[in-house]
Structure 1
């Protein structure tokens, strides 16, 4: 074998491994999954994932060195965003591959669904059909900034922490459909259980707004 080929191949693989190493950490995967929703400050990310700003910053720097995230400076704040749409595809594909290859992941999902009352889970096509009916009331459980960045058509923004305050205002003659950040986010299932226990007819959509936008281009607000 030509030595130049060997050297080239090893050098290329080494760079690919850098990306793989940056992904091999629960905290960094959580950060990337959050950034799929839209740009965030270090402080915002740290607050959501429950870590110190210093620890969050160290993990963000690892992702930045792998060119997965980039920084925008605005006065005293540093906002992080994903470098490209391909990173969103990468995070989504990692989850899909794990669901297909890791029985333990499927078992965790199944048990959690049972613990939260086995709510009806909608596919993208099933949700699209429901959105065409006036009998569906769609709720986006994410924080206001993520909703503002992009949301499903006709969705009402009620962050999960505020949901109980709206029980008296939600329509009881319509089916409530809730969604959050996607398959790695458990809030939609928990919210469904709470709504069901409060007497509402409810279903969940457990894919992300970005996943919806890839199947239904141009159908987000």
Structure 2
């Protein structure tokens, strides 16, 4: 029995990490932190949580060292610890969910599928098109997230501004939209809006964090 002790101790700590990410709000927080560091107040505003509730979730993530803060004056600014590993973990969780959960499959079909009937572009396909200079890459996240890091050559038009700035986009060139990750709705809504106006548009299969986790170049 003693020979199982080390394994069980490791599994217990892994279970702590699994429990820490086992909440929808904390997964949402991790997705936001994957775009770049944010204060407690900023995270609360973006996730729709109270500051106290956001802080409580962050403390749980901090306890298992998925997120850590730094002090900036009176504010606590959080960042991911081991960002690439966290993004890979969340991507694996998403793949398992899409395979095993009938509810996730239904949401993917009824929301993502209905708004974008075309298959998203893979990172490899996008890389080839960027290198061939035959695509306009559109980052539809908020401008501050774009400033913290974006795919090279991408231009920033947040989803909220897209309709008013649509006239500046080319109609004779493929547009590829991307946002925070595979379940971020910004790029899906951007594709639906642009395609309804006759633009050639696709979306990237995931987002900036996955691009960065794959070791691909980003710009700030």
TM-score normalized by structure 2? 0.90
Q: Distance in 2 between matches of 1:29 and 1:210?
A: 14
Q: Distance in 2 between matches of 1:206 and 1:188?
A: 10
Secondary structure of the structure 1 residue equivalent to 2:129: helix
1:19 aligns with 2:17: yes
Unaligned runs of 5+ in 2: none
The answer to whether the 8 Å contact 1:177/1:202 transfers is yes
Question: Residue 39 of structure 1 aligns with which residue?
Answer: 37
Question: Residue 192 of structure 1 aligns with which residue?
Answer: 191
Unaligned runs of 5+ in 1: none
Question: Residue 220 of structure 1 aligns with which residue?
Answer: 218
- When structure 1 is superposed on structure 2, of 86-95 and 46-55 the one drifting more is 86-95
Change (3 A) 1:105 1:218: closer
Question: Residue 51 of structure 2 aligns with which residue?
Answer: 53
Secondary structure of the structure 1 residue equivalent to 2:168: coil
Question: Residue 175 of structure 1 aligns with which residue?
Answer: 174
How far the C-alpha of 1:218 sits from its partner, in A, is 4.5
Secondary structure of the structure 2 residue equivalent to 1:195: helix
Q: What whole-Å deviation, never above 9, does each CA across 1:150-181 have from its counterpart, x for those lacking one?
A: 21110001111111121121122222111001
Change (3 A) 1:134 1:67: closer
The answer to whether the 8 Å contact 1:136/1:176 transfers is yes
Question: Residue 64 of structure 1 aligns with which residue?
Answer: 62
TM-score normalized by structure 1? 0.90
The answer to whether the 8 Å contact 1:113/1:119 transfers is no
Question: Residue 159 of structure 1 aligns with which residue?
Answer: 158
Secondary structure of the structure 2 residue equivalent to 1:63: helix
Q: Distance in 1 between matches of 2:33 and 2:22?
A: 17
Question: Residue 29 of structure 1 aligns with which residue?
Answer: 27
The answer to whether the 8 Å contact 2:141/2:186 transfers is no
How far the C-alpha of 1:61 sits from its partner, in A, is 0.8
Aligned-pair Cα RMSD in Å? 1.8
